[in-house]
Chains A and B, each alone.
Chain A
Amino acid sequence: MDFYQVLQIIIPSMIGLAAPLIFTALGGVFSERTGVVNIGLEGLMVIGAFTGIVFNLTFADVFGSATPWLAVLVAMVAGIIFSLLHAVASITFRADQTVSGVAINLLAVGLTLFLVKKLYGKGQTDMVTENFDRVDIKFLSDIPFIGKIFFSNGYYISYIAIVLAVVVWYIIFKTPFGLRIRAVGEHPMAADTMGVNVAKIRYAGVLLSGAFAGIGGAVHAMTVSNEFSHSTINGQGFMAIAAMIFGKWHPLGAMGAALFFGLAQSLSIVGASLPFFKDIPGVYLLIAPYVLTIIALTGFIGRADAPKASGLPYIKGKR
């Protein structure tokens, strides 16, 4: 097996595994840029995964091949509704944002397993029958050399994730709404003085993070595990948080980091059967995303600073 063939296996697998992380990390960027820490992304992904799989199983006969796409949309709505809990607790009730996020994670796992047992009478769902198909992108996959690596044997939804990162970058850095988001996250009092409704912008940020994490969870469930159980989402949400930080709270940086983590994951899965990689113990690839994030935070790869006001509830009139 030559190196070119190895790339043809690793790169599509990397993009596929990275897509859910990209969606969720973009959600995290929205939330943290408005100043609300969202540790609950993991739980929101669980909700998305659960909703996506249940919708897919229930309506596969009705909608046919459109089912996975609709399931992603429904999961997005479920993510928004669930993230409302975090928004109300941490913005209106001034709860500790990290504690509220932890509660979201516990609640999501408890609630979804409770419902799975209620609906199916067992601890996990059946496998879904309507999956996302792996496709070769028209024209692009015909590009010599890179077409075969980057645009073959992938999911449309993965490419949507990458395009979306650019869209989010545009929204946050080039639109008035994005300016408000950043202002509220850096200096809420200044933003408030200028007539920006801090609570409203923060609600928008948290609900957007719920939407994106819901999509991320559903995409992960329908491309990687194809069922829902307690281990379907197992740290992907936290890895997305890591990607967001590693990408320095920047949408494109988060996407790059997510792709890199996707590569580490794909190597830890398929690496054992490939030359070059089978000599590396899997544990190094498994812990790489986490260790790299710590190193990045420590400042060895340039300083990464969170938005100034993240984690702090905004109380009007308090200096």
Chain B
Amino acid sequence: MVKKMSGLFIPILSVVLGLLAGAIIMLVSGYNPVDAYIALFFGVFGDSYFLGEAIRTVTPYILAGLAVAFAFRTGLFNIGVEGQLLVGWLAAVWVGITFELPMLIHLPLAILVGGLAGALWAFIPGLLKAKFRVHEVIVSIMLNYTALHVTNYIISYVLTDKLDKTNNIFETATLRSPFLSGLTDGSRLHWGIIVAMICAIIMWFILEKTTTGFELKAVGFNQHASEYAGMNVNRNIIMSMVISGAFAGFAGAMEGLGTFGYASIKGGFTGIGFDGIAVALLGGNTAIGVVLAAFLFGGLKAGALNIPVETPIPNEIVDIVIALIIFFVASSYFIRWILNRINKKGVK
């Protein structure tokens, strides 16, 4: 009973605890947490513009969350989503500004190339893990910074002449839509959310309905057992990273083709990749869970921007809340332990 409940109970409890802890921090700092949370709520649901921006924020969160979750299911920790996202972003924009094609070909091509770039970037840690048993976490962290510096270099020295952003992509490669924008009072909402939803379904399908997915999960549960059962563990490790990287690349493509329409030099990371870890963790590494968690975190992030508008409270309070939620989910052993104690007492 406890086990069945805890799948849903622990994430919800963690969110509640995270919000409570955030409230305590605000109280201690002399702010009114109720004002902050009301402003947060209105920042998401207050009017159609806010709602559109919130859904736009959710889009890359879903994809980044899927990327982390997919690798997790094979027992791999893809902390390199951030880097894969950056190369995917750049590759998609490169297709968007270089070729002139009809939209029916151009847009899918740009998205796919973005995914491919992410997949290639994730292939490196996958290959090194499979061939040399190098830990994928360290390699992908190093590749994050490599991606940051290399994409910056390509933007300013290869695609442009020492400018800090590329040209805008052609209309035929854009995910933006005047229809969606008009519907939401001029927000930057774009068709990416549909792409993200399709990817969630693809992930669910691969993992639950195909032999490949079964093998990937088996490797995640027990490498040795999978090997004795005749599965190629190394191939599955590489494949898992590549598919995970493709999701991350799509996330970058959504930013490049939808939200911004160009690629620009970055002083630091977007943070989407790291928040993707939070999304996957809260969503229990399932497709549906990731979508729900992405809506929560994306909503929090988008709504946070309204907090300093209506109150004196800095919007970073939401980053604190998100970090605390991760802590609580990660420490679920503790929560389970308390639950078990309470349950045992109930039995007596």
**Residues in chain A within 8 A of chain B (CB atoms):** 37, 39, 85, 89, 92-96, 98-100, 102-107, 109-111, 113-115, 117-118, 230-231, 234-235, 238-239, 241-242, 245, 281-283, 286-287, 290-291, 293-294, 297-299, 306
Contact in complex: B142, A105 (CB < 8 Å): no
Contact in complex: A99, B138 (CB < 8 Å): no
Contact in complex: B319, A110 (CB < 8 Å): yes
B314: contacting residue among A107, A114, A282, A287, CB under 8 A? A114
B138: contacting residue among A89, A118, A297, CB under 8 A? A297
Give chain A residues whose Cβ lies under 8 Å from the Cβ of B117.
Answer: none
B319: contacting residue among A99, A106, A241, CB under 8 A? A106
Contact in complex: B333, A241 (CB < 8 Å): no
The 9 closest A-B pairs by CB, nearest first: A110-B319, A107-B323, A95-B330, A106-B323, A117-B314, A290-B142, A93-B331, A283-B153, A114-B316
Instruction: Assess whether B134 is interfacial by the CB under 8 Å rule.
Output: yes
Contact in complex: B141, A93 (CB < 8 Å): no
Which A residue sits closest to B31, measured CB to CB? A118
Give chain B residues whose Cβ lies under 8 Å from the Cβ of A111.
Answer: 316, 320
List 5 additional contacts besides A98-B137, A283-B153; criterion CB under 8 Å: A95-B331, A110-B323, A230-B268, A287-B149, A291-B142
Contact in complex: B267, A118 (CB < 8 Å): no
Cα distance A299–B135 when bound, in Å? 12
Give chain A residues whose Cβ lies under 8 Å from the Cβ of B146.
Answer: 287, 290-291
Instruction: Assess whether B277 is interfacial by the CB under 8 Å rule.
Output: yes
Give chain A residues whose Cβ lies under 8 Å from the Cβ of B139.
Answer: 294, 297
Contact in complex: A103, B326 (CB < 8 Å): yes
Contact in complex: B327, A293 (CB < 8 Å): no
Contact in complex: B330, A106 (CB < 8 Å): no
Contact in complex: B326, A106 (CB < 8 Å): yes
Cα distance A29–B279 when bound, in Å? 30
Contact with A along B31-53 (1 / 0, CB 8 A): 00000000000000000000000
Contact in complex: B334, A93 (CB < 8 Å): yes
Which B residue sits closest to A242, measured CB to CB? B142
Minimum C-beta distance from B129 to chain A (A): 10
Cα distance A297–B142 when bound, in Å? 11
Contact in complex: B324, A107 (CB < 8 Å): yes
Within 8 A of A (CB), among B146-180: 146, 149-150, 152-153, 157
Contact in complex: B79, A290 (CB < 8 Å): no
Which B residue sits closest to A43, measured CB to CB? B323
Give chain A residues whose Cβ lies under 8 Å from the Cβ of B55.
Answer: none
Cα distance A230–B332 when bound, in Å? 30
Cα distance A290–B281 when bound, in Å? 27
**Secondary structure class of chain B's binding surface, majority of residues:** helix
Contact in complex: B145, A103 (CB < 8 Å): no
Cα distance A230–B268 when bound, in Å? 9
Instruction: Say yes or no: A100-B330 contact (C-beta < 8 A), given A297-B139, A298-B132.
Output: yes
Give 7 A-B contacts (CB < 8 Å), ordered by A residue. A95-B332, A104-B323, A106-B323, A107-B327, A114-B314, A241-B138, A290-B142
Which of B132, B268, B330 has the most chain A CB within a 10 Å cutoff?
Answer: B330
B333: contacting residue among A93, A115, A239, CB under 8 A? A93
Contact in complex: A109, B157 (CB < 8 Å): no
Which A residue sits closest to B140, measured CB to CB? A294
B331: contacting residue among A89, A230, A234, CB under 8 A? A89
Cα distance A89–B142 when bound, in Å? 25
Contact in complex: B268, A234 (CB < 8 Å): yes
Give chain A residues whose Cβ lies under 8 Å from the Cβ of B141.
Answer: 39, 238, 241
Contact in complex: B274, A287 (CB < 8 Å): no
Cα distance A163–B206 when bound, in Å? 55
Minimum C-beta distance from B16 to chain A (A): 17
Contact in complex: B132, A99 (CB < 8 Å): no
A245: contacting residue among B138, B145, B277, B326, CB under 8 A? B138
Contact in complex: B316, A117 (CB < 8 Å): yes
Contact in complex: B330, A103 (CB < 8 Å): yes
Contact in complex: B326, A99 (CB < 8 Å): yes
Cα distance A92–B331 when bound, in Å? 9
Give chain A residues whose Cβ lies under 8 Å from the Cβ of B145.
Answer: 235, 238-239, 287, 290
Which B residue sits closest to A89, measured CB to CB? B331
Contact in complex: A102, B153 (CB < 8 Å): no
Give chain B residues whose Cβ lies under 8 Å from the Cβ of A297.
Answer: 128, 132, 134-135, 138-139
Cα distance A297–B275 when bound, in Å? 27
Minimum C-beta distance from A62 to chain B (A): 24
Cα distance A102–B323 when bound, in Å? 8
Give chain B residues whose Cβ lies under 8 Å from the Cβ of A39.
Answer: 79, 137, 141
Give chain A residues whose Cβ lies under 8 Å from the Cβ of B211.
Answer: none
Minimum C-beta distance from A206 to chain B (A): 15
Give chain A residues whose Cβ lies under 8 Å from the Cβ of B278.
Answer: 102, 106
Contact in complex: B143, A290 (CB < 8 Å): yes
Contact in complex: B333, A234 (CB < 8 Å): no
Within 8 A of A (CB), among B172-197: none
Which of A93, A114, A115, A299 has the most chain B CB within a 10 Å cutoff?
Answer: A114
Instruction: Assess whether B77 is interfacial by the CB under 8 Å rule.
Output: yes
Instruction: Say yes or no: A231-B274 contact (C-beta < 8 A), given A106-B323, A117-B316, A287-B146.
Output: no
Which A residue sits closest to B151, measured CB to CB? A283
Contact in complex: A281, B320 (CB < 8 Å): no
Cα distance A100–B328 when bound, in Å? 9
Give chain A residues whose Cβ lies under 8 Å from the Cβ of B267.
Answer: 231, 234
Cα distance A234–B318 when bound, in Å? 21
Give chain A residues whose Cβ lies under 8 Å from the Cβ of B138.
Answer: 241-242, 245, 293, 297
Which B residue sits closest to A118, measured CB to CB? B29
Which A residue sits closest to B30, measured CB to CB? A118
Instruction: Assess whether B317 is interfacial by the CB under 8 Å rule.
Output: yes
Instruction: Assess whether B322 is interfacial by the CB under 8 Å rule.
Output: yes
Give chain B residues whose Cβ lies under 8 Å from the Cβ of A118.
Answer: 29, 314
Contact in complex: B320, A99 (CB < 8 Å): no
Which A residue sits closest to B268, measured CB to CB? A234
Which A residue sits closest to B326, measured CB to CB? A103
Contact in complex: B314, A113 (CB < 8 Å): yes
Cα distance A306–B318 when bound, in Å? 35
Contact in complex: A231, B316 (CB < 8 Å): no
Which of B144, B281, B333 has the most chain A CB within a 10 Å cutoff?
Answer: B333
